[in-house]
A and B are shown apart, each in its own frame.
Chain A
Amino acid sequence: MDEKITSLEALQAIARQAGEDHRKYRLRLMVCGSNDCHLTGSNEIIDAFQEQIRGRNLEDQVQVVATGCIGSCSMGPVMTVWPEDIFYMKLRPEDVVELMDSHVEGGHPVERLMYHDPATGQAIAHSADIPFFARQHPIVLGNKGIIDPESIRDYIGQNGYQALYKSLVALSPPEIIAEIKTSGLRGRGGGGFPTGVKWEFCANTKSDVKYVLCNADEGDPGAFMDRRIMEDDPHAILEGMIIGAKAINASQGYIYCRAEYPLALERLYAALDQARSMGLLGKNIMGTGFDFDIEIYKGAGAFVCGEETALMTSIEGKRGTPRPRPPFPAVSGLWGKPSILNNVETWASVPRILFGGGEAYAEIGTESSKGTKVFAVTGSINNIGLVEVPMGTSIGEIIFDIGGGVSGGKQFKAAQLGGPSGGCVPAEYLNLHTDYEAIVKAGAIMGSGGMIVMDEDTCMVDMARYFMDFCQDESCGKCTPCRVGTKRMLQIVENICKGEGRPEDLDLLESLSHTINDASLCGLGQTAPNPVLSTLKYFMDEYRAHIEDKKCPAGVCADLFESPCQNACPVEMDIPGYIALIRAGRLEDAYKVLKRTNPFPSVCGRVCGHPCQNKCRRSQLDEELAIKNLKRFITDHASPPRPEPVPVVHPEKIAVIGAGPAGMTAALEMKKRGYAVTVYEALPEAGGMLRWGIPEYRLPRDILSREIREILDTGVALKTNIKIGVDVSFDDLKANHDAVYIGMGAQKSAPLGLINEDAAGIIGAVEFLRDYTMGRNVRAGKRVAVIGGGNSAIDAARTALRLGAESVTILYRRERKDMPALEAEVKAAEEEGVAIDFLVAPLEILVSDGSIKGLKLQRMRLGDFDASGRRRPKAIEDSSFELEIDMLIPAIGQQAELDLLFPATRIDDRTKDTITIHAGGNTIAVNRDYSTDHAGVWAGGDIVTGPAMVIDAIAAGRKAAISMDRALRASKGEQPWHETEDRIEIPVEVDEEVEEQFQIRIRELPPAERGRNFREVELGYEGNMAALEARRCLRCDVKTEE
């Protein structure tokens, strides 16, 4: 039996003793003993250390402590060595000997087991220097990693129970409440109701019996903050509750905890026993005459029991369903008596507030949301774990700075805040402050602090379906809107995911959401539609894609596609099909499959941005398939299907402006459908950006010419050197044709917008590459700078190098990870000697005698997040410097020459039969069927989307042709055209066992041999390499019978 504590001195004596006990040891190895680290093997590590310490007779010097969770769950098992604060991660039992030898006995910490900065690769020894820890502000989690959760002495050692003593002895109940009100503490369980006001309400209700309740029924998917507080710092909760009891004069408390948290329950029970035996709980607490005890009620894990009235009904022994309010629990709660209910995190905050003072607490956070908040950050994020930050920290900071950004290098798409009752916010909201009101305004809620990060591979409709399913499953069934309404909403969303959605479903979902929100009995029902509402608000396009196009852009809704790669391909190439044909050795058939939807397969086999590979499911196993290379292998090793001339069967004449990939594809597709098609090209040869923009070392010209010839061989007419708007007016062209397709691309480099941009030695990337290709006299300077971070910047830099520049530097205003250029291209450029300077932007062009002689540059830092999820560069004052150059290639974007086409059209001029131009004046607006507002005129490619991938241009041409043909036929009352394709049987051959096997790399010209020539760098597969790679395909398109 412990001695009862009845004075501050007694508490402080225990605290001192705890400190001394710790100082006895030279080193304390604080190993995280929480659930996640336990699952990854922390127990084995603790055992191994103990064995080593025993074996080396170090028991008096070194102590191993199993601490509570320190939040860095994806790094586990983790260990911090005190008092040095050296942090180790991803420990394995076999590391223990080395740690003992080198660190414990040798005094040399083991670098290899430390955290490494992902940008620099440098090891960071001290947890205080690791961004994940450094940017947090632990108050509620203040004891994490420091105490043994099972030791009340450790808790007292961190000033535990001193706030209780103060509350019992020095403060009156109104003074306790005043302190909480001063702190600005609001309920951390979801609603955010001011805690002090709630207590005051209850304190003012007259009753002999009152109750203090702790909601530990955490049930949000992915949320574990309350669990961790219970497991790791149970006394903080008890101390908070006793203080609350004193404030309202209650003598009984309950903790309602779900039975699925056995460790939390075990530690709570232990803490209760310890507190009772030391006189901190029960009769006559700390000798002050105040009686209060706590009982634990184990819930069965019903989500609705987190709702306060349902929780109380459940403690009363009845079916846990909510009751109408009013009366509010502060007036009539548990068993009809005044009760206050707060959640675990709120209670655990109370002792800290009383100890440090309400004012100090209120200094943290925002105007309306004070203090800190614990978030459980999960999903597609590198540092999954628990994070405590001051209220007001932006979600971008939590996700990127603390959370380490989106995992797998994927694009951030949305964050689901507040669990199933919350909502998701898109990248535009990365600067959103975590403040109760701000989050609600964005369409989500703070909730209990769940934050699920979703990347580009998340389908938002499917996400809404998941949460809707959760809510309807957890509905108690008491009130109609929640019982039936959530089910009906789920059915509608499920239908949409299955491709059975109807356009009117969108309005219906919104209207149902409002009714369910307005009419449900409790918070569960009222908030259940939020995930649907917020995705409707921010991701309407995805819903439309599912309903109108029967497509799931993220490649999740399995009913809507055959395989994720095919789904991701803008022209929906039958990727598993041609890969299977490679494996079967049927390359001629494979080529036919390629040509079905893509007239430029050998081009795409070299320069495609391959969105298909990003969705390859093999990447979840080892590495995605090299689909691009496999495609190229077919075109390198088989002869293309012979193009047949197509007879003209329609009277309509079609004009195509621009012989780039969009125009040529549109022309071919219209030709196939039996029209007379003429392509007008301003330059001497067809190919557009493929010819003039992409350097030959990436795309040999004969490859391109062959595929263009195959198109022309079908009977498409090509007229080169005719610039529409110069040689022939657009109106004349229109008058002589029944339909016009504009696919003329964006042929001008965007200007930097600086003075002296017309100086000699400055040439845009597009112009530079085109002039060189056309054989004009292009010379590179000695010292060349390229401004930009896209593929054309890399192309220009590598071309300049090949043209004899002594040095080429790419200047980019953001960081490497933000570069839009393909990573492989960036690496290739660096291998060849191109330098890249990041976080820098031009201020001034320095000129001498009309020629450029240098740049005045400015250093940048990263500020707010922009809509792309990247941080906006911000100038650092007084950081300018000069760079001496003699050639400058701006590559910051491209523009179309729209003024040539429509000299009279201005942005605001949107009368009938003119073209609508997007704000900014650089691209044409098209309808969903790719028609413009100008009757009979269609458009696609870069002129509509701005610079994009080749495959996007091909898709644009193809889709426009399909709807152009459909419109022409519809005007004559004819049925749409159907392609009659020769059936090619795709073999089904799947390996029974899938073994880890990374991509088969293609052969490349070594950097030394690339030198200063334009020989193709990538050399493709040879021999059986492609067949081996093809074997890696998992054949997602093959549906197994269930």
Chain B
Amino acid sequence: MVALTIDNLAVEVPEGTTILEAAGSAGIHIPTLCALPEIHHNPGACRICMVEIDRARTLVAACVYPVANGMKVKTNSRRVREARQRVMEFLLSDHPQDCNICQKHGNCELQQVAGQVGTRDITVPRTDFTVHDIDDRSEALVRDGSKCINCLRCVTVCDNVQGVHLLTPEARGFSSRVVPAMGHSLDDSACTFCGQCAVVCPTGAIVEKDHTGLVWAALEDPSKHVVVQEAPAIRAQLGEEFGLPPGTLVTGRMITALRRLGFDRVFDTNFTADLTIIEEGHELLERVKTGRALPMITSCSPGWIKFVEHFYPELLPNLSTCKSPQQMFGALAKTYYAEKEGIDPADIFVVSVMPCTAKKYEASRPEMNDSGFRDVDVVLTTRELGRMLRQAGIDLKDLPDGDYDAPMGEYSGAGTIFGATGGVMEAALRTVYAVVTGKNLPDLNIGAVRGLDGIKQAGIGIGELGEVRAAVAHGLGNARTVMDQVAAGQTDYHFVEIMACPGGCVGGGGQPLPATNEKRRLRADALYRDDGEVQHLRQSHENPSIKTLYDEFLKEPLGEKSHHLLHTHYTAREV
């Protein structure tokens, strides 16, 4: 242990602790705009966290400076306060002062820290403002270099967490900004649109592309029959947009809110999550029986799909041909549902609410038109839905519970846990076990695939199949590790689940901000609560609406209609 004083408080912390962490443990909150310990990011770049120590000539960055015995730290001297205000003044002098109309308004760390350090005036020249191009060519993300403060968090998350290595600081000095390498835009690069950069960005420099206007227009168009689906994770996230504690399940209130916004039908992506399990489970069984392209790898996560297409095209045959639940929903809404309700599919407008920015891209993929129309018309992130509700004056906290509409609203707990890493695997194993053995798993909870460990493995004996070996990874960096092993033939997995985002969809690029691992854990807990405590059905094949769907429309898993509407193909892409 190391003993030091911080602002005259005696503090004892383990060796290797940074001053910032040590101060935090003593209840002293040192502001910073770049350091982000959860992604091991502390470049010492923003210089907001500067403190005074007795053994240095200059101020030091608390986020990187390790404590030492006997060190005397001042975090609140005049010298420190004035330096922080000046550095903030520098940042603001090269930052658009358009906070009130910025998408990050109210959620901007720069704004919050500026308030905390107390900068009140910009005395340096503000002319020679750096103008950077706005990259809004992709369907998912918008990058505005003029709002970039060079904290480099996006670079680290893209390099170290996601392993995509797309972003890099460009140019020098005052013109230096983070951009996709080699002059690419996000659109024509290997960007997976996972949106983790937008999650860590302290300003509005990388945000999701806002599609709320399209939804408002559809809702206001009397000729449109507007239906909405919400991803499993939304019910455990949306509350945060209204100040509820992370991990609050708001399913019923969310349904009421959506109905009040004016959606004609409120359905659920969980329904097609159950459907995915039926299709994917059968696909797995078929592959295990034939030994074709094992391991089979999940295909629910669109960021992951794009990642494989760029970086592991040789493994494309291993991807499940199942569309993601979002896209299955869209395809069915404009066929099955349209037929059933007698509505012209041309008039049906499908909105999905996703914790994900890559879903925006997925919905725009050219092959996602199997209904004869664009299957999903607009994808909103959790944050966008929160904005729409606030615009409409709907406070989620105050709402009564509502119920889903039929026929695409009923779901099992297995569908819900799709939102957490390992959830798809757990749901699939439950159903595969039942299909193969005709019995339920003795314990439906498969603990080995739950939790935030980067790579999880499990082996379950399934009747005549013997042991089915499974691996689960979340975050593309972890996915890379597993894929390298798979590509090298070093594994004997049958089934691998990959989610692009850390924690799975509860940690998606569209989640409420700010995001921490603790919040992701609480959200996942809420989903497992929904599965274990709220829903009486916990296996996808038990969902009555799914049975009806097969009886009335699809006939059988992997059948002709399924093949046409629910399965897809992939494209190798260049890096």
Residues of A within 8 A of B (CB): 302, 319, 321, 323-324, 326, 472-488, 491-492, 495, 508, 511-512, 515, 517-521, 526
Contacts and interface: CB of A to CB of B under 8 A. Distances in A.
Contacts of B58: 517-520, 526
A521 B45 contact: yes
Contacts of A486: 173-174
B125 interface: yes
A475 B42 CA distance: 20
A515 B86 contact: yes
A474 B173 contact: yes
A521 B87 contact: no
Contact of B45 (A319, A478, A517): A478
Contacts of B48: 480
Given A488-B124, A492-B125, A526-B58, A481 B47 contact: yes
Contacts of B107: none
Given A488-B90, A519-B59, A324 B171 contact: no
Interface in B6-60: 42-48, 50, 58-59
B391 interface: no
Contacts of A324: 42-44, 61, 64-65
Contacts, number: 118
A841 to B, nearest CB: 48
A492 B172 CA distance: 20
9 contacts: A319-B168, A319-B169, A472-B173, A475-B176, A476-B173, A477-B174, A481-B87, A492-B125, A526-B58
A477 B171 contact: yes
A479 B58 CA distance: 15
A326 B124 contact: no
Determine the main DSSP class of B at the interface with A. loop
B87 A480 contact: yes
Sort chain B's interface into a size bin.
35 or more
Contacts of A480: 45-48, 87, 90-91, 149-150
A526 B173 CA distance: 14
A477 B50 CA distance: 18
Q: Nearest 4 pairs between A and B by C-beta?
A: A477-B176, A324-B44, A475-B173, A484-B90
Contact of B86 (A477, A479, A483, A519): A519
B173 A518 contact: no
B212 interface: no
A518 B124 contact: no
A512 B124 contact: yes
Contacts of B59: 518-519
Interface string B324-345: 0000000000000000000000
Interface of B: 42-48, 50, 58-59, 61, 64-66, 79, 82-83, 86-87, 90-91, 93-94, 123-125, 127-128, 149-150, 152, 168-169, 171-176
Nearest to B79: A518
A537 to B, nearest CB: 19
A481 to B, nearest CB: 6
Contact of B172 (A474, A481, A488, A495): A474
B93 to A, nearest CB: 6
A1030 B169 CA distance: 57
A725 B42 CA distance: 77
Given A324-B61, A324-B65, A518-B79, A483 B173 contact: yes
A508 B86 contact: no
Nearest to B48: A480
Contact of A473 (B47, B91, B173): B173
B90 A481 contact: yes
Contact of B125 (A474, A476, A488): A488
A485 B125 CA distance: 10
A485 B47 CA distance: 12
Contacts of B94: 484
B175 A477 contact: yes
B43 to A, nearest CB: 7
Interface centre among B43, B61, B149 (most CB of A within 10 A): B43
A491 B47 contact: no
A521 B47 contact: yes
Contact of A521 (B61, B123, B124, B176): B61
A321 B155 CA distance: 14
B44 A477 contact: no
Given A491-B127, A512-B86, 8 more contacts: A326-B66, A479-B44, A481-B86, A492-B124, A508-B124, A515-B83, A520-B47, A526-B58
B70 to A, nearest CB: 16
B172 A475 contact: yes
B169 A477 contact: yes
Nearest to B125: A491
B173 A479 contact: no
B290 to A, nearest CB: 45
B86 A476 contact: no
A518 B124 CA distance: 18
Given A483-B174, A484-B94, A488-B124, A478 B150 contact: yes
Contacts of B128: 487, 491
Given A324-B61, A477-B173, A481-B90, A519 B50 contact: yes
B187 to A, nearest CB: 24
A495 B173 CA distance: 20
Contact of A515 (B66, B87, B93): B87
B82 A515 contact: yes
Interface centre among B50, B152, B176 (most CB of A within 10 A): B176
Contact of B91 (A323, A475, A484, A491): A484
B174 A472 contact: yes
Contacts of A488: 90, 93, 124-125
Contacts of A302: 172
Contacts of B47: 479-481, 519-521
A488 B125 CA distance: 6
A479 B46 contact: yes
B324 to A, nearest CB: 36
A161 B227 CA distance: 84
A485 B149 CA distance: 13
Nearest to A507: B123
A515 B83 CA distance: 6
A476 B172 contact: yes
Interface centre among A319, A511, A515 (most CB of B within 10 A): A515
Nearest to B171: A477
Contacts of B42: 324
Contacts of B45: 478-480, 521
A871 B529 CA distance: 90
Contacts of A475: 172-174, 176
B128 to A, nearest CB: 6
Contacts of B91: 480, 484
A302 B169 CA distance: 15
Contacts of A519: 47, 50, 58-59, 83, 86-87
Interface centre among B46, B58, B59, B172 (most CB of A within 10 A): B172
B127 to A, nearest CB: 7
A356 B90 CA distance: 52
Contacts of B43: 323-324, 478
Interface centre among B46, B47, B83 (most CB of A within 10 A): B47
A482 B42 CA distance: 18
Given A484-B174, A521-B44, A477 B150 contact: yes
A512 B44 CA distance: 20
A512 B85 CA distance: 11
Contacts of B86: 481, 485, 511-512, 515, 519
Interface centre among A475, A486, A519 (most CB of B within 10 A): A519
A478 B169 contact: yes
A472 B173 CA distance: 6
Nearest to A327: B66
Contacts of A472: 173-174
Nearest to B94: A484
B233 to A, nearest CB: 36
Nearest to A326: B66
A495 B126 CA distance: 13
Interface centre among B66, B149, B173 (most CB of A within 10 A): B173
